[in-house]
Structure 1
Amino acid sequence: MDKYFSVILSIAIFLIFWYTLFHDTLNIPSFDDYDATLVFIKQFYFESQSFSDRISVLFLRHNEHRILLSKLAASGYFGIFGQVNFGHLVILQNLFLLGFFGIIVSVFKKEKQLSSTAFLFITAFLFSFSLWQVSFYYWAGIQHYTVFFFSFTSLIVLDKTEKVISPHFLLAVFLALFSVFSFGNGFLALLLGVFLLFAQKKYPVLVTWMIISLAILIVTFFIDFQIHGQSGEAFKIEWMARLLFTFLGSFLYINPSSGQHFNILVCMFAGAFVLLFWVYLFFSGYALKKPLLYSLFSLPILTGIIISISRFETKAAGGIAPRYMFFTATIPILLLLILLDMKIVKKAFLNYLAGAVVLLWGVTFYNNLVALKSMNTQIVSTVRKWQYDKSIPLVYYHNAEGYTKTLQWAINQHVVQNRIYFSSVRSNYK
């Protein structure tokens, strides 16, 4: 594929993503926005009596996660503008996607594997519409984008660290701390940091990192510890395996209007290959030879293992949830980097691979844009009906009372705009 054509396609994908982001993002709370943002604003600005109270609210768990970055962004925006605009917060969270994109490109460049075709490959997966729930709603993206942004940067900086008393080490700890307080899987940066330093035989740095990591884990997991079970089902390893394999291969899910079962089977086989290859890299010695690349590749895979254990009852369907797709979008990118590094994939073959990826992007763009517009229409319709009938649940899997009180309070206090605002959403959602 001609390098200029690859660059033009990359720019086109990028612009289509951002145009859709500005055009189809709603300034309306939905799903976890009620608890994670509106209730938080109420506790932080309206109920906290002291500075210590506000700090406590910032670090309180949301379910099994600590979402400090989500809370800081929302409270900062409200503090400046006196109101919460979810559309603006969505744009803000996607700046972390841009930052993560830059990180991945820099890793390819560092490994001398960056080309215009590889750039197209990265762009097509990171700006895929398979990520639509993460990209277009504040309740997902602000947590998922930040946790991988800080986890990846922490490991990259730690890879450059030679001494404990050094700017690199302090920065790596700081970034890891932010990853832990961004989302539940952020602790993986700490564990993979241990592996990275062990593989590099940086033992003084390793010991210090382990002590600091243990302290962080104690504070974050054993203070205010809680587990929110998803169901009363007994754990079934078969269900977990189905979820895990589907999750690891979900970058091939196109969200078809028919033939979903076949598409899921394709994802499961691809996911099984990814897992086996990951294990092979460890036992073949590649993990010790290239610990940074292996650690980065391990982040989405270990995330998948955590999700498959905690959400096992959703079986294969849980592996294709759009809210997880950002994590899995990194798998083919890092897989390609490792295969290029191992010289298994030649750069000449990369042209054909990039062509297939662009085709995949096009199909997922159409199918998931339909899903995005459908959900937006449903959210707007539900809020409008709720304005006239407060018994209507704002979120289908929760009863109406709690979220009704939250939204009504937010409107009364002008945290969000009134009903005139809700009727002024873009015409394509009227």
Structure 2
Amino acid sequence: MTKKALTLIFSLIILLPVIIYFMAWDYYAINIPKWDDHALKAFIVEYAGADNWKEKIPALFKQHNEHRISVTRMIAWADFTTFGALNFKHLMLAGNLLLLGVIPLWLILLLKNKKPLFALLPIPFIWLTLAFWENMYWGMASIQNFGVVTFTLWTFYLCLNPKPIVFTFSLLLAWITVLTSGNGLLVLPIGVVLLFLL
């Protein structure tokens, strides 16, 4: 069998759990708010009613319990302005797509370490499981909890790159991570430790 054929077969096998995961998600997802999702409705009202940027910026960046959910708010506002209403299925989809961002990182790490493509096979099967069912079907939590993991891993990978432009981008990504979830604050001290270990 040729290398191209093997690559195609492995790629299709890698896609299989992604397809199954999103088919299961689509079958059960309902456009209803869950718990903290109601705070996003209040944000939309506050942000839409703000007269100027001095009122809009605090609405976007203010604390929500122990978290700053600015990324979730931005996605919610984009959804609201695009579709004319806040659709919680769209928020769930955005969060679940963020979960996929870990797979290309694993691929990059494997290729960088000269590992074959088939070494990536277990990752989507382990990563995309129904163990995430609560976050899968909760708009705010899916963006917050899946996003913080993906952004954190990418921040760590990029901050260890010696190129100044890539390191600068990692700082921007670290800031986005902090604005995704309270857990994102940990990206800063852990990133500093990783830099000292270089």
TM-score above 0.5, yes or no:
yes
Secondary structure of the 2:122 match is: helix
Instruction: Name the structure, 1 or 2, with higher relative contact order (CA <8 Å, separation 6+).
Output: 2
Report the residue type matching 2:75 in the other structure: A
Q: Which structure 1 residue ranges, 4+ long, deviate > 6 Å from structure 2?
A: 2-6
Q: Which of 17, 21, 41 pairs up with 1:17?
A: 21
- In 2, distance between residues paired with 1:132 and 1:188? 25
Per the TM alignment, residue 75 of structure 1 is displaced from its structure 2 partner at its CA by 0.8
SS state of the match for residue 103, structure 1? Answer: helix
- The one-letter amino acid paired with 1:99 is G
Helix, strand or coil at the partner of 1:62: coil
Cα distance 1:51–1:122, how it changes in 2: closer, same or farther (>3 A)? same
1:55-70 aligned within 5 A: 55-70=57-72
Write the mapping of 1:307-318 to structure 2, written as runs, cut at 5 A.
none
RMSD: 2.1
CA deviation vs aligned residue, 1:104-159 (integer Å, no higher than 9, x gap): 2222222233442x322101121111011122221211001221222112211111
In 2, the alpha carbon distance for the partners of 1:104 and 1:197 equals 20
Query: Residues 147-166 of structure 1: matches in 2 within 5 Å?
Result: 147-161=148-162, 166=164
Q: Specify whether residues 28 and 50 from structure 1 end up closer, same or farther in structure 2 by C-alpha distance, changes over 3 A only.
A: same
Identical columns (%): 28
Q: CA deviation at 1:181?
A: 0.7
1:183 matches 2:185: no
* Alpha-carbon distance in structure 1 between the residues aligned to 2:11 and 2:38: 40
CA distance in 1, matches of 2:12, 2:104: 18
Alpha-carbon distance in 1 for matches of 2:25, 2:11: 21
Alignment-derived partner of residue 110 in structure 2: 108
Number of the residue aligned with 1:129: 130
Task: Indicate the residue corresponding to 1:194 in structure 2.
Answer: 192
Tell me how far 1:100 sits from its aligned partner: 2.2
Residues 80 and 110 of structure 1: is their aligned pair in 2 closer, same or farther, counting only changes over 3 Å?
same
SS of alignment partner, residue 103 of structure 2: helix
Instruction: Provide the C-alpha distance between the structure 2 equivalents of 1:104 and 1:144, rounded to a whole number of angstroms.
Output: 19
Which of 77, 80, 85 does residue 79 from structure 2 map onto? 77
Q: Structure 2: which 5+ residue stretches go unaligned? A: 1-5
Q: How many residues align?
A: 193
Secondary structure of the equivalent of 1:30?
coil
Structure with higher Rg: it is 1
1:42 corresponds in structure 2 to 45
CA contact (8 A) 2:13 2:121 kept: yes
